[in-house]
Amino acid sequence: MLTLLNLLKDGRFHSGQALGLALGISRSAVWKQLQHLEAELGLSINKVRGRGYQLAAPLTLLDPLSIGALAPVWPMTVFDSIDSTNAEALRAISQGRTAPFLVLAERQISGRGRRGRKWVSPFAENLYYSLVLRIEGGMRQLEGLSLVVGLAVMHTLRKLGVSGAGLKWPNDVLVGSRKIAGILLELVGDPADVCHVVLGIGINVNMQVADEVDQQWTSMRLETGKSCDRNALVAELSEQLRDYIQRHQIDGFSALQGEWERDHVWQGRPVSLIAGASHIEGVVLGIDSQGALRLRVDGVEKVFSGGELSLRLRDDS
């Protein structure tokens, strides 16, 4: 199937006879493989008598050589289809793979967001990206790390034309009120000693329709009006992450605190902080030197942190 997809990815018409010759199969077998492509990967294929078969839109598949030529940063593995890049990264850690390394996929069957949410992951449209780091500096190297990743993602999007990208505590990148990227960090080992952290990043790139998404969303293509080369996106994101992670390791999160607050789209806004069944009403004051959220609650500043917290605008139904 994927060999056939590589023949069709240019978006031009290809006759059934030419495809059969290239693959060494009959025209009827080509037809069956095309049906599989449509059913399994959700791709739309035009079929025109006398002209052949054509992908409804050209595809640019992830290519480690192209990415490495643009930004030779970390060893990487690209999967055509996988449960999730974070899950594969965790398996690689357990098998002893040496960090740092990068896991990418064209499609996720069981993509995950924060708090167990499903991350919709259509084939070859978006970016599913997990970077594994070995952390030896103790808790200081982990303080505010997800927010540092958010800064790298936001600046990547801005550099590639999404000028309105901003941050939402703790792990989202928004354009206005619409989500364009999310971050999921997972930890393996002793955070006080030596551990591994998986930096999972999902970016809506060329997606234009997604009935399964249960919140307001947008994509790079919807914001810029043009298709984005995902190989160039991986390269730019990797360079931004390398630079921000290095700054964080040398200077700590406190050196990036002010920069993060300046790009927090809900700074000064009235919000509800959801922690399980409880809702805390307050106004966003910012974050502290460890990345925790500072809220003014009934006239008193309080600080909140934790992976199961969720922030909502108070006037957002």
Binding-site positions for biotin: 84-86, 108, 112-114, 179
- Report whether 205 contacts 189 (CB < 8 A): no
Cis amide leading into 170 (omega within 30) = yes
Listed in sequence order, the DSSP H helices in 98-197 are: 145-159
Q: How far apart are CA 104 and CA 233, in angstroms?
A: 12
Can 168 be counted among the known catalytic residues?
Answer: no
Q: Clarify whether 312 is annotated catalytic.
A: yes
Alpha carbon distance 34, 4 (integer Å): 8
Is 178 among the catalytic positions? Answer: no
Please confirm whether the linkage preceding 64 is cis (ω < 30° from 0): no
CB distance 283 to 314 below 8 Å: no
- The catalytic residue among 107, 114, 168, 221 is 114
From the list 229, 220, 90, 78, the residue with the least C-alpha distance to 162 is 220
Give the active site residue among 47, 91, 262, 312.
312
Binding site as annotated, residues: 84-86, 108, 112-114, 179
Catalytic residues: 114, 179, 312
